Amino acid sequence: MKVLYLVTNFARWEGDPHSPWLVEQALRLRERGVESAVLAPSYKGLGDHEIYGIPVYRFRYFPGRWEDLTHLEGGPNKIKNPLYLPLILPYMFFGTLAVIRQCRRQKYDVLHVHWPLPQGVFGLVGQKVSGARLVTSFHGAELLLTRRYPFLRPVLKYIIERSDAVSANSSFTASLVRELADVEVTVIPYGSTIVAREGPPKATGPEPRLEREERRILFVGRLIERKGLPYLIEAMDLLPHELPVRLDIVGAGDQRPLLERLVKDKGLTERVFFRGRVPYEELAELYAGCDVFVLPAIVDSQGDTEGLGVVLVEAMSYKKPVVATNVGGIPDIVHHNETGILVEQRDPQALAQAIEAVLTDDDWARELGQAGFAYVKQYFSWPRIVDQVVALYSPGAEPTRPERVEGACP
């Protein structure tokens, strides 16, 4: 079986942090006899290349220096800036030409679209040219974009109804798909290689090493509105001053200046540290060395929120207790007081109380970490995910619903 992925972003080099789960999925499918190739937009002039033997075909749509509509912060966030809007038409035109050319050059059994707005348009064109089975996979952002631009709803509905199979990364995302079209949706979360990852914290970066009694709080993600970081910073200000804590914020984004000002205004410059983007090895040390991982996500001013919250899976693979907000697809991962702690969004007091509870009760923190690890080890395991994807590629495959994995939680 030959599959062509139609995606808005893909790894630009081996080890690139862009959608590593998608790279891993293609490699795992190869072991099952599925040959995968990728059609993705260029990034600043990047041409065709290979990632671990996976052919990646890049279509050019603008002069290289401006070719960054996708990758990094992602298209839905970038088009909030009107300067990016002129890139959309050439993106669609040259992307359409690219899928026609690729489907005439090579015979594919399946066209698998991730982020179907706008890639679903390419999928429909490819389906018409090649007769291949069209599978569309939703991750949340493209559906929430229709709230900002309602005229896109009929476009996405048309794409969904003409897909041969539809999947979503969480039950929340699946519910958004069903709001648009009355179709069956298979819930397939991101796969992850979950092994117990443990180790003592190591000194990283220019800051001095913490004393033994001090506790680390970790956030990893883009510094954008829907991550809710102002509420986490306010929660840091509410933690008891006799509790020595430190927050490491890993990631980049347009909200960093605002967040840095908030930290300064709150007098938290000795407790909150912005790490920017960090290499994988350093990120692994930060995960291993933290005492609690926090994702304070919100529904932002544009109606956007977390489709799943995959960083929580990463933290749980280190057996770390997690605190997160009850929005989007997060409850698929965090079951309150079982695999972690859920609090309501935009509530710094609730965040502070949950963080303090974990940091002052080592036994409970350990129980949460163990339960979270057991859950994600099964629910996000690659054998389970690959079985679901292979079934999705097969005509007549039955959709699956999210379930609570036996033995992982009470």
- Domains in the chain, start-ordered, CATH in brackets? 2-191+381-393 (3.40.50.2000), 215-376 (3.40.50.2000)
Q: How far apart are CA 90 and CA 402, in angstroms?
A: 38
The four Cα atoms 144, 145, 149, 154 give a dihedral, to 10 degrees, of: -80
User: Among residues 369, 314, 363, which one has the least CA distance to residue 339?
Assistant: 369
Strand 35-41 to 49-51 pairing: unpaired
Contact 215, 306 (CB under 8 A): no
* Residues of the chain with confidence (pLDDT) below 70: 73-77, 80, 193-212, 396-410
- 49-105 pLDDT, tens digit per residue, is 999 999 999 999 999 999 998 887 666 667 767 787 889 999 999 999 999 999 999
pLDDT at 62: 95
Which region holds residue 371: left if phi is over 0, alpha if psi is between -120 and 50, else beta? Answer: alpha
Phi, psi values for residue 50, rounded to 5°:
-125, 145
Amino acid at 204: T
Q: Which helix (H) or strand (E) holds 367?
A: helix 362-379
Pairing of strands 341-343, 322-325: parallel
Burial string for 278-303 (b: 16+ CB within 10 Å, else e) reads beeeebbbbbbbbbbbbbbbbbeebe
CA 106 centroid distance within chain = 30
Beta bridge partners of 138: 168
Q: Token pair of 406, please? A: 């036996």
Task: Report the amino acid identity of residue 215.
Answer: R
Whole-angstrom distance, CA of residue 122 vs CA of residue 310:
27
pLDDT at 396: 59
Cα 389–76–152 angle (5° rounding)?
85
Q: Cα 109 vs. chain centroid, distance in angstroms?
A: 27
Q: Give the integer Cα–Cα distance in Å for 128 and 47.
A: 26
Strands 54-59 and 49-51: antiparallel
Whether the pTM exceeds 0.85: the reply is no
Token pair 């599959």 in the structure block, residue: 3
| pLDDT tens per residue across span 128-162 | 999 999 999 999 888 888 888 899 999 999 999 99
Give the pLDDT confidence score for residue 16 in this predicted structure: 86
Judge contact between 151 and 122, C-beta under 8 A. no
Cα gap 329→166, rounded to integer Å = 17
